[in-house]
Structure 1
């Protein structure tokens, strides 16, 4: 693996601006937590997308929608999750999330 492949997405975004936060992100969040055996990566992605929609964390949603697809969720399943959440988290949150999903999915094609 060359040096470029070892640089995480978080490191590419922030460089050395917040090294402690980047360390937690890379080593604990995407290292230890995402590697747990109790839930599959697909299940973790589904939970994460739902939490981001519910909390209206739109800054992280686009990344996690695409990450969820890498873990086996389809665009149709992700749109259904957002639609389902409209009734539990609020219509404005779901509308914001579906617009982010539309943009994320269109940019991939």
Structure 2
């Protein structure tokens, strides 16, 4: 596996003062330990995460992870195609919500 960018969470920066334990788990377990495992590339983890967030109807988390996916080498074209593909598996309303989030992020 080739070198990949170190994945760093933002839990402490965003919610650390309000929910310190959740922030620590986000940064220290989810990102430091899980996201940096070498068995999957960060790019693949990003695509999986984006797909699950779309399927789960989680637009707030999707907003962050679409940006993270781009940082991990997924192109906007690939993300739009993934959302289009997921319309048939996760549901049309969820895909429409996801594409609206993507459009806001990619066109600003």
TM-score (structure 1 length as normaliser): 0.88
How many Å separate the matches in 1 of 2:94 and 2:70?
21
How many Å separate the matches in 2 of 1:13 and 1:38?
28
Q: Which runs of 4+ in 1 moved over 6 A?
A: none
How many Å separate the matches in 2 of 1:15 and 1:104?
25
The residue number in structure 2 matching 1:4 is: none
TM-superposed CA distance for 1:46, in Å, is 0.3
TM-superposed CA distance for 1:11, in Å, is 2.2
How many Å separate the matches in 2 of 1:77 and 1:91?
18
* Structure 1 counterpart SS, 2:36: coil
Q: Verify the 8 A CA contact 2:10 2:27 in the aligned structure 1.
A: no
Q: Which runs of 5+ in 1 are unaligned?
A: 1-7
Asked if 1:63 is matched to 2:64, the reply is yes
Q: Which runs of 5+ in 2 are unaligned?
A: 1-8
How many Å separate the matches in 2 of 1:103 and 1:53?
15
The structure richer in helix per residue is: 1
TM-score (structure 2 length as normaliser): 0.89
How many Å separate the matches in 2 of 1:74 and 1:43?
12
Report 1:82-97 matches (<5 A). Answer: 82-97=83-98
The residue number in structure 1 matching 2:28 is: 27
Q: Alpha-carbon deviations, 1:37-84, whole Å to 9, x = none?
A: 110000000000000000001110011001000000000000000000
Asked if 1:79 is matched to 2:86, the reply is no
Q: Alpha-carbon deviations, 1:65-108, whole Å to 9, x = none?
A: 0100000000000000000000001100000000000001122x
User: RMSD of the TM alignment (CA)?
Assistant: 1.3
